[in-house]
C-alpha cells in the first residue's frame, strides 16, 4: 500500500484526501519511483478546481523526484537505483510512490538533490522553453515577467541575467520586490503601489518590451499588451487570476501588430529528444550554480491543503514542495 492524494470532486483545498491505495508492479515501459520530494505548482490548483478537466476520481501533481525501485518490460531509459526526476503527465505526483512512463524520467546529476529537483523540473523546464523557444531571447532584449518572486519567476530572473536580458518584474509586496532584485531582476514593480503599464513605458523610454511573460491571466492581460513594443509577443502561460476574457484580434493590430501565444510544457516536450535537450540545458545552469533553485516552503504530504491555501493566497515565494 502507498499513500496518495485523491480528489473525488472539484473544488477548494478540502476536496483533497490522503488515502491508501494498492500499488502494483510497473507495467511494460513503466518504472516504479519511490518519491523523496514532490513539486507544488499552480497547475495543480487548476486541476483541483476543474479549470483544467480530468476524469474523477483522480490525482494531482505533475512533478517529483525519487529513486527507481522497479522497472517494467522494455524499459531502457532508467535502471533500478537511479535517482530520477520528472515533470508533466500523467497527473498523480502527490504520492509516496507511483508507476511512471519511463520515457518521462530523467536521471539526475549527482550534485542535484531531491528537493531541488522536485522544485525545479516543471518550473525550470518552463523557463527553458519560454526563453529559448517561445521567444528566443538574446542579449540586449528587455522583457516583462509577471510574478517575478514566484518559483518560475525567480528562475526567470536568474536565467535572464545569465542571457544578458533586462528583466522587469512585477510583484505584490516590497518583500517580494527585494527577493526578485536579489535574484537578478533589473527593475521591479510593486503592482499594489504602481501601475505596471505606466512604469514599464517609463523604464523603456516609451519603446515597450520585446516580450511579456504572463502567468496571471485575466487581471494583467490587456495591461500587458500595452507594455509591448510593435511586433512584440505576449506569452500567456498561466491563469492565476482566472482565464483571459475573449478579445478582438484588432486589439493586436491597434497596438502594433502584436503576437500572442498560449504555450504549454507538454507541447514543447512532446518527444524524448525535446525533453532531454531542455533538461540538459536546465541541469547545466543549475549544476553550475548560475541558476539557484530557492525552495522556501516545505509541507508534509498530509498538509497539502495548507500548501494549496497559501499558494492561492499568494503567501508563498520561490518554490514549494511536498515531502512524502
Predicted pLDDT at 89: 87
Give yes or no for a contact between 84 and 98, defined as CB atoms under 8 angstroms apart.
Answer: no
Do residues 256 and 226 make contact, with C-beta atoms less than 8 angstroms apart?
no
Question: Residue ranges of the domains in the chain?
Answer: 2-121+269-323, 139-262
0.85 cut: is pTM over it? yes
Phi first, then psi: give them for residue 17, nearest 5 degrees. Answer: -125, 140
Indicate if the pLDDT at residue 243 is higher than 90.
Answer: no
Q: What percent of the chain has pLDDT over 70?
A: 100
Q: How confident is the model at residue 88 (pLDDT cuts 50, 70, 90)?
A: confident
Task: Grade residue 132 by pLDDT with cuts at 50, 70 and 90.
Answer: very high
pLDDT in tens, 161-171: 999 999 999 99
240 pLDDT above the threshold of 90: no
pLDDT at 130: 98
Rounded to the nearest 10 degrees, what angle do helices 114-129 and 151-163 cross at? 60
Please report, for residues 3, 117, 157, 186, 200, the alpha-carbon distance to residue 160 in angstroms, rounded to integers and kept in the order given. 39, 20, 5, 10, 17
- Residue-wise burial string across 139-153, b where 16 or more C-beta atoms lie within 10 A, e elsewhere: eebbbbbbbbbbbbb
- Position 294 confidence tier, pLDDT thresholds 50, 70, 90: confident
Given a contact cutoff of 8 angstroms between Cβ atoms, the answer to whether 208 and 200 are in contact is yes
What would the CATH number be for the domain defined by 2-121+269-323? 3.90.180.10
264-275 confidence digits (pLDDT tens): 999 999 999 999
* Contact present, 301 and 276 (Cβ < 8 Å): no
Whole-number Cα distances in Å, 198 to 189, 213, 228:
10, 17, 12
Task: Say if domain 139-262 classifies as CATH 3.30.70.1560.
Answer: no
DSSP 318: B
Amino acid at each position: 500500500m502507498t499513500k496518495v492524494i485523491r480528489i473525488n470532486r472539484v473544488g477548494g483545498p478540502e476536496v483533497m484526501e490522503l488515502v491508501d491505495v494498492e500499488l502494483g508492479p510497473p507495467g511494460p515501459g513503466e518504472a516504479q519511483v519511490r518519491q523523496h520530494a514532490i513539486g507544488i505548482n499552480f497547475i495543480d490548483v487548476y486541476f483541483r478546481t476543474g479549470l483544467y478537466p480530468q476524469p474523477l476520481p483522480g490525482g494531482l501533481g505533475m512533478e517529483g523526484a525519487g529513486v527507481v525501485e522497479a522497472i517494467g518490460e522494455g524499459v531502457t531509459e532508467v535502471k533500478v537505483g537511479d535517482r530520477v526526476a520528472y515533470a508533466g503527465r500523467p497527473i498523480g505526483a502527490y504520492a509516496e510512490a507511483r508507476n511512471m512512463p519511463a520515457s518521462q524520467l530523467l536521471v539526475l546529476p549527482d550534485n542535484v538533490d531531491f528537493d531541488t529537483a522536485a522544485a525545479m523540473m516543471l518550473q525550470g523546464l518552463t523557463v527553458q522553453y519560454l526563453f529559448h523557444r517561445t521567444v528566443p531571447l538574446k542579449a540586449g532584449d528587455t522583457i516583462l515577467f509577471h510574478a517575478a518572486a514566484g518559483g518560475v519567476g525567480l528562475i526567470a530572473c536568474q536565467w535572464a541575467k545569465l542571457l544578458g536580458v533586462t528583466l522587469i518584474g512585477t510583484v505584490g509586496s516590497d518583500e517580494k520586490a527585494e527577493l526578485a532584485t536579489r535574484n537578478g531582476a533589473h527593475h521591479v514593480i510593486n503592482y499594489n503601489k504602481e501601475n505596471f503599464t505606466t512604469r514599464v513605458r517609463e523604464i523603456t523610454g516609451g519603446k515597450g518590451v520585446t516580450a511579456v511573460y504572463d502567468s496571471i491571466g485575466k487581471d494583467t492581460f490587456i495591461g500587458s499588451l500595452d507594455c509591448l513594443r510593435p511586433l512584440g509577443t505576449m506569452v500567456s502561460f498561466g491563469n492565476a487570476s482566472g482565464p483571459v476574457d475573449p478579445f478582438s484580434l484588432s486589439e493586436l493590430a491597434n497596438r502594433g501588430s502584436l503576437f500572442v501565444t498560449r504555450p504549454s510544457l507538454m507541447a514543447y516536450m512532446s518527444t524524448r529528444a525535446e525533453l532531454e535537450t531542455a533538461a540538459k540545458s536546465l541541469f547545466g545552469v543549475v549544476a553550475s550554480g548560475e541558476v539557484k533553485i530557492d525552495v522556501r516552503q516545505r509541507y508534509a504530504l498530509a498538509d497539502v491543503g495548507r500548501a494549496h491555501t497559501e499558494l492561492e493566497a499568494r503567501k508563498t515565494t520561490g518554490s514549494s514542495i511536498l515531502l512524502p
